[in-house]
Chain A
């Protein structure tokens, strides 16, 4: 219980903090600072990941445009294709069958599509 109340403590834990501080400390502070300072001597430019990120943004925009275009094409094509298919399969023969006053001949109505 004591541990639970301490865990909810709103103040930093000095013991845990000190142990973690030591565990995470990097060696050779001055050489690291010298390394970063040397890197700063190079004129600032966008980091390569920033450049890649900007390319990625353009790439995503282009992909979205392409996806919309393909979507529009896909939306237009399926409307006409099934009608063509229906027309090629049933054709005027089906219309004639429906339009006739009397019942169709069984041989005509039940004939396979490929034979018409």
Chain B
């Protein structure tokens, strides 16, 4: 039982300075943390959660329109990663492995959801389109980008997020999505073309 309370208890007694220990663990590499997590160190896995929460949430949000659904899927992904941690090869990078789990968790949740809540567009748009409020514009752009993403085929959407937002290579995007590298490259190209039109229109309007 790698995650047993007994194991945690003995570690807590053996270590009188948990804050220093946590700081030391937080400085470790992914590979070191994964090895510790595989040995039953829940603190190490917690550090990985903290380190990758933003990535996993963004990936889930790219699939699921509703932010609560996306967070549920992100949590599912971490729990699934914990269950599957013994299958993970520490010799390979942790990020793509976890991201693939996140993509699957989000896709599974999206399939189970028949009705998704829609965000009200009007509440984010500047009144009359002339408001100089930067925060409102920023939120409006975010909403429009999410809507534009939602109109893309799911694989295309995921490809551009993984490449341009998360910084994975085309080969890694292909492995995460289970498609050839050339297909990943093509999906990124088509998604960029669609999103850049939206982005340039928005920036031009901002200048006016």
Interface residues of A (CB under 8 A from B): 3-4, 6-8, 10, 12-13, 15-17, 19-27, 29, 32-33, 35-37, 39-41, 43-47, 49-50
Q: Establish whether residues A20 and B195, one from each chain, have CB atoms under 8 Å apart when the complex forms.
A: yes
Neighbouring A residues of B62 by C-beta, 8 Å: 24
The DSSP consensus for interface residues of chain B is helix
Of residues 127 through 153 on chain B, the ones whose CB sits less than 8 Å from some CB of chain A are 138, 141-143, 145-146, 149
Smallest distance from the beta carbon of B26 to chain A beta carbons, Å?
12
CA A82 to CA B199, docked complex, whole Å: 72
Q: A20-B145, A40-B46 known; A7 and B138 CB under 8 Å?
A: no
Residue of A nearest to B192 (CB): A7
Q: Establish whether residues B164 and A39, one from each chain, have CB atoms under 8 Å apart when the complex forms.
A: no
CA A12 to CA B162, docked complex, whole Å: 10
Smallest distance from the beta carbon of A31 to chain B beta carbons, Å?
10
CA A3 to CA B193, docked complex, whole Å: 7
Neighbouring A residues of B142 by C-beta, 8 Å: 19, 22-23
Q: Establish whether residues A29 and B54, one from each chain, have CB atoms under 8 Å apart when the complex forms.
A: yes
Q: Establish whether residues A47 and B79, one from each chain, have CB atoms under 8 Å apart when the complex forms.
A: yes
Q: Establish whether residues A16 and B196, one from each chain, have CB atoms under 8 Å apart when the complex forms.
A: yes
Q: Establish whether residues B49 and A37, one from each chain, have CB atoms under 8 Å apart when the complex forms.
A: yes
Neighbouring B residues of A39 by C-beta, 8 Å: 75, 78-79
Neighbouring A residues of B199 by C-beta, 8 Å: 15-16, 19
Smallest distance from the beta carbon of B206 to chain A beta carbons, Å?
12
Q: How large is the interface on B (under 10, 10 to 19, 20 to 34, 35 or more residues)?
A: 35 or more
Given contacts A7-B196, A39-B79, 6 further A-B contacts (CB under 8 A): A16-B192, A16-B195, A23-B143, A24-B58, A25-B54, A36-B49
CA A74 to CA B136, docked complex, whole Å: 69
Q: Establish whether residues B193 and A40, one from each chain, have CB atoms under 8 Å apart when the complex forms.
A: no
Smallest distance from the beta carbon of A103 to chain B beta carbons, Å?
73
CA A35 to CA B78, docked complex, whole Å: 11
Q: Establish whether residues A17 and B165, one from each chain, have CB atoms under 8 Å apart when the complex forms.
A: yes
Q: Interface with A: B11-19, B27-35, B66-74, B89-97, which one?
A: B66-74
Neighbouring B residues of A36 by C-beta, 8 Å: 49, 53, 74-75, 78-79
Select A37's contact among B46, B149, B165, B189, beta carbons within 8 Å: B46
Neighbouring A residues of B67 by C-beta, 8 Å: 26-27
Smallest distance from the beta carbon of A41 to chain B beta carbons, Å?
8
